[in-house]
Structure 1
Amino acid sequence: MAAQAHKATDLRVLKSSGFRAYLATLFLGAFNDNLFKLLLICFALNLLTREQQNNYVPLATALFTLPYILFSSYAGFLADRFSKRTVMIVSKAAEIAIMGCGYYFFRIQAATPLLFVLFAMGAQSAFFGPAKYGFLPEVLPDKALSRGNGAVQLATFLAIILGGAVAGHLATKYIEMPAAARVEQPAIAGEAVSSSDAPAPTTAALSQKDPKVSAAATAAGTTREAPEQSGAAKQPTQVHRAAIHCVVIAVIGFITSLLIMPTPPGHRDAVFTWNPLSTHWQTLHAMRRDRLLILCLLGNCYFWFMGVLFQSNLPLLVKNDIGASDQTVGILLAAVALGIGIGSSAAGFLSRGKIEYGLVLPGGLLVALFAIILGVFGRWLAPAAICVSLMGFCSGFFQLPLVTSIQKRSPADQRGQFMGAVNAVDCLGMLLAAVFHWLLIKPLGLSASAVFVVLGLLTLGVLMMMSKNAPSLLARAKQLLKP
């Protein structure tokens, strides 16, 4: 109850040591997720033959994503039943054990067990998510909620960029590649060579949630080289020396989690259900009673749909239309991730102590506009770089009020279940984006430039649907834009 009183009266909570520890904890978690995942991919590109890689890397991505669908309802129950601080601490303790197993299997160069480690990582992140997002409404005053979410997004996307940068450095240092038969290959599964080589729906386009844009972790331009011959021999690697950093970061993250400010105790009447699908269905049915809440859920899902479609298509644009390198892909992905973080932080500041719904439609409209411009003028690097940066920045304006509203409008005793359902729906949106991109590139044969035009037009359609079903969004946007 002290935490509730603290929430109600003290705006300085955003600068408190307990809240900073929370930001540090989620930063280290996102950083470690991307560091480990990229090290694993670089390791696979070194250890496995080309034929094995084509199966291993998409499988790794799918195994990391699957726990969000399987375990989000269980994670939501735990976040409701127990203190969210306690759930985060236990999750971080589990991360130490998981990273320890990862270090061991890297040391003995066991590729298959590392897939189980990656699945466990996805499960750990899935259990951490509802507590992480449900934490904010419990400790922050209502007028600080938007700024708090902006800080969370900025910390998350900075972690994605830095995790990719460190992974690239460590992979270069510790993963030795053969001198002969080298070919450039990006450290993500969706290789961009020609439009006919577009990734199928099960490739790395299925990006990690929390951060749900993990492939943006290639933002450091992490590229590796792999044996060209399908029968190439295994190459020596000291990747376990890089993996020890993951263990150390997990330990530090556990320590920072102990410093997170107290949260109210859980609700003893929280109901556990074994069937995750029925739990999600019941939660979504409850959310439908609040039209604005369900609209925010769908809008947030579309944000991640856009993210995966963008991430899948950008390498094709850079390689085929611009004719640039994998490093350029990494730099542009970094620009997008940084833009989202800065845009979210700016949106939190501009909200001025409330949930500013007036930012949603203008932010989405600008994303659509820059996507169309990117499709038309994206053959030149400078316009492309400007467009992708502004798309990231404006998408922060679009998404921040949506996720903040979900937190605010969810019942306090079911907030964990609601956030768990949000995670599951977002993952389904990302899967649909991967399928949609594959359909546009393969059966329809669209160019990468045309896909961005389609994305812009689709976004305009989504915005029209949102304004029709929630006229208050349009009214507030007009009011906000008045001179």
Structure 2
Amino acid sequence: MARGFYTFLIAQFLSAIADNALLFACIALLSTLNAPEWHVPFLKETFVVSYIILAPFVGSFADALPKGRVMFISNGIKFFGCVLALLGVPPLYAYAIVGIGAAAYSPAKYGILTEMLPSNQLIKANAWVEGTTVSAIILGPVLGSTIAADNPYFGIAIIAVVYLLAAFFNHFIPKVPIDHKVAQRSLTFLIRDFWHAFTTLWKDTQGQVALAVTTLFWGAGATLQFVILQWAKEVLGMDQQAATVLIAILAIGIAVGSVGASMFVKLEEAVKVLPSGILMGFLVVSMIFVDTREVAAVVLFCIGVLAGYFLVPLNSLLQHRGHILLGAGHSIAVQNFNENIGILLLLGIYTFMVHQNLPINFIIIIFGIFVSVSMAVIYQLYLKHTRANAA
């Protein structure tokens, strides 16, 4: 791996673990403030709105500066959001500010890989990045729930320090040549530039399927996190701190699946992993038959393995196509825009169902069937398109 990759990896891990811990610290704070139940999933929605609103601008921002500096600035914004929470700003607003930093951070985080490494190392590098991200997903909820259990403000203060530490490592990431620097900085040009990037990726056959799948995955994944918390509480009788262990097990499965993908799936064969996404949806439905913690752990681990196995190759494919067609920052900004619309829509539907007091098992059935059917439709459309092109 190139010089500076592991410095980037440390910074990425610290920032990711702080992101995941902060969500659960804010959930604990909402509980302390006696907020309504539907505020919990809505908290995530306030976070992802920034990804959608800022999508036309963050890609250009990431491509216009050295990406290490972009990540440094982004972690500074996240730190500021934590400070606002400590000063008494309501969690929904403070977490939205952190979302602005996260939206700016993401194009630089993934975009730097295509600038730092050759294409034949992308899947391996993505496996490392997903591995650290998954480690953060495993440790973050447990860390956030633990340090915020007695005093949520103390937990948020610790997380703010972690963001500062991540920014420290960002400062030492070697500069790489600026890729696809934007020609103008006017608002009209940036929006047109983003629209061009958006339509270019959706018109590309491989980019189209990768975008569709990753959009569905992140929308489903964000929703599943809250489904597991509610399911563990209602069906398995677990409190939030104990339920985070199940989320950690899911994340371990994703890590295992990611490693498997990096070993056995080539970039040019990335689309062949789509059937594992169809199977994942059926496994989600099987959660309604589970009533013990041990079986729940096994089912969630298997869901995670399938998720990791198809996510890493399709993420790598999307980065590769985006880097060739647009530039890394623009490509990831388009990816984030689509993925966070998916999160906003699916979490919005879940928030509505919780507000309507629908049974959690009914929600799980709808959710699992939706994932399987959507994956199957995407796969069949891709096969139909490739056959037509071959003819």
After TM superposition, give the deviation of residue 446 of structure 1 in Å: 6.3
Name the SS of the counterpart of 1:347 in structure 2: helix
Q: Given the alignment of the two structures, is residue 111 of structure 1 paired with residue 89 of structure 2, yes or no?
A: yes
After TM superposition, give the deviation of residue 169 of structure 1 in Å: 2.7
After TM superposition, give the deviation of residue 71 of structure 1 in Å: 1.3
| Distance across 1 between alignment mates of 2:207 and 2:68 | 25
Contact 2:285–2:365 (8 Å) recurs in 1: yes
**Residue matched to 1:20:** 6
Identity rate, percent: 23
Contact 1:83–1:266 (8 Å) recurs in 2: no
Q: 1:374 to 1:140 in 2, by over 3 A?
A: same
**Residue matched to 2:264:** 350
Instruction: Select which of 29, 34, 50 maps to 1:67.
Output: 50
Q: 1:57 to 1:435 in 2, by over 3 A?
A: closer
Amino acid at match of 1:146: I
**Residue matched to 1:34:** 20
After TM superposition, give the deviation of residue 327 of structure 1 in Å: 4.5
Contact 1:82–1:267 (8 Å) recurs in 2: no
| Distance across 1 between alignment mates of 2:362 and 2:41 | 25
Contact 1:371–1:456 (8 Å) recurs in 2: yes
Instruction: Please give the residue correspondences for 1:206-225 in structure 2 after superposition, counting only pairs within 5 Å.
Output: none
Instruction: Select which of 314, 336, 356 maps to 2:228.
Output: 314
Instruction: Select which of 70, 86, 104 maps to 2:69.
Output: 86
Q: 1:472 to 1:404 in 2, by over 3 A?
A: farther
Q: 1:118 to 1:398 in 2, by over 3 A?
A: same
Q: 1:278 to 1:434 in 2, by over 3 A?
A: farther
The structure with more helix, counted as a fraction of residues:
2
Cα RMSD (Å): 3.1
Name the SS of the counterpart of 1:470 in structure 2: helix
Contact 2:78–2:99 (8 Å) recurs in 1: no
Q: 1:39 to 1:411 in 2, by over 3 A?
A: closer
TM-score (norm 2): 0.86
**Residue matched to 1:341:** 255
Amino acid at match of 1:338: I
How many corresponding residue pairs?
A: 385
Instruction: Please give the residue correspondences for 1:459-478 in structure 2 after superposition, counting only pairs within 5 Å.
Output: 459-471=371-383
Name the SS of the counterpart of 2:177 in structure 1: coil
Q: 1:290 to 1:163 in 2, by over 3 A?
A: same
Please give the per-residue CA displacement for 1:119-173, whole angstroms capped at 9, x wherever unaligned.
3211111111111111111111212101111111111121123222222332235
**Residue matched to 1:330:** 244
Q: Given the alignment of the two structures, is residue 122 of structure 1 paired with residue 91 of structure 2, yes or no?
A: no
Give 1 or 2 for the bigger CA radius of gyration.
Answer: 1
Q: 1:254 to 1:316 in 2, by over 3 A?
A: closer
**Greater CA drift, 271-280 or 159-168:** 271-280
Instruction: Select which of 285, 298, 322 maps to 1:386.
Output: 298
Amino acid at match of 1:127: A
Name the SS of the counterpart of 2:180 in structure 1: coil
Q: Unaligned regions of 5+ residues in structure 2, if any?
A: none
Instruction: Please give the residue correspondences for 1:170-185 in structure 2 after superposition, counting only pairs within 5 Å.
Output: 170-174=147-151
| Distance across 1 between alignment mates of 2:41 and 2:217 | 23
After TM superposition, give the deviation of residue 463 of structure 1 in Å: 3.0
**Greater CA drift, 136-145 or 241-250:** 241-250
After TM superposition, give the deviation of residue 339 of structure 1 in Å: 1.6
Please give the per-residue CA displacement for 1:52-107, whole angstroms capped at 9, x wherever unaligned.
556865664433222111112211011222222332233234445554x34xx62x
Amino acid at match of 2:338: V
Contact 2:257–2:309 (8 Å) recurs in 1: yes
Instruction: Select which of 403, 409, 415 maps to 2:315.
Output: 403
Q: Given the alignment of the two structures, is residue 434 of structure 1 paired with residue 347 of structure 2, yes or no?
A: yes
Amino acid at match of 2:11: T
Q: 1:385 to 1:378 in 2, by over 3 A?
A: same
Please give the per-residue CA displacement for 1:408-454, whole angstroms capped at 9, x wherever unaligned.
001455331221121111111112212443566777x8643344343
**Residue matched to 1:299:** 213
Q: Unaligned regions of 5+ residues in structure 1, if any?
A: 1-11, 176-238, 476-483
**Residue matched to 2:327:** 414
| Distance across 2 between alignment mates of 1:370 and 1:242 | 34
After TM superposition, give the deviation of residue 289 of structure 1 in Å: 2.5
| Distance across 1 between alignment mates of 2:75 and 2:271 | 37
Contact 2:42–2:351 (8 Å) recurs in 1: no
Q: 1:56 to 1:299 in 2, by over 3 A?
A: closer
Amino acid at match of 2:133: T
| Distance across 1 between alignment mates of 2:384 and 2:7 | 37
Amino acid at match of 2:69: T
Contact 1:347–1:359 (8 Å) recurs in 2: no
Q: 1:273 to 1:395 in 2, by over 3 A?
A: farther
Please give the per-residue CA displacement for 1:443-479, whole angstroms capped at 9, x wherever unaligned.
7x8643344343343333223322322229999xxxx
Contact 1:357–1:473 (8 Å) recurs in 2: no
Q: Given the alignment of the two structures, is residue 152 of structure 1 paired with residue 135 of structure 2, yes or no?
A: no
Please give the per-residue CA displacement for 1:361-418, whole angstroms capped at 9, x wherever unaligned.
232133133223323x223443332111100111111211111111000145533122
Contact 1:368–1:456 (8 Å) recurs in 2: yes
**Residue matched to 2:203:** 289
Q: 1:309 to 1:38 in 2, by over 3 A?
A: closer
Q: 1:398 to 1:271 in 2, by over 3 A?
A: farther
Name the SS of the counterpart of 1:379 in structure 2: coil
Contact 1:77–1:271 (8 Å) recurs in 2: no
| Distance across 2 between alignment mates of 1:273 and 1:461 | 42
After TM superposition, give the deviation of residue 44 of structure 1 in Å: 4.0
| Distance across 1 between alignment mates of 2:108 and 2:45 | 23
| Distance across 1 between alignment mates of 2:103 and 2:351 | 26
Contact 2:114–2:323 (8 Å) recurs in 1: no
Amino acid at match of 1:463: M
| Distance across 1 between alignment mates of 2:277 and 2:38 | 36
After TM superposition, give the deviation of residue 269 of structure 1 in Å: 4.3
Contact 1:283–1:417 (8 Å) recurs in 2: yes
Contact 1:81–1:270 (8 Å) recurs in 2: no
Contact 1:42–1:171 (8 Å) recurs in 2: yes
| Distance across 2 between alignment mates of 1:369 and 1:44 | 33
Q: 1:41 to 1:111 in 2, by over 3 A?
A: farther
Q: 1:430 to 1:244 in 2, by over 3 A?
A: closer
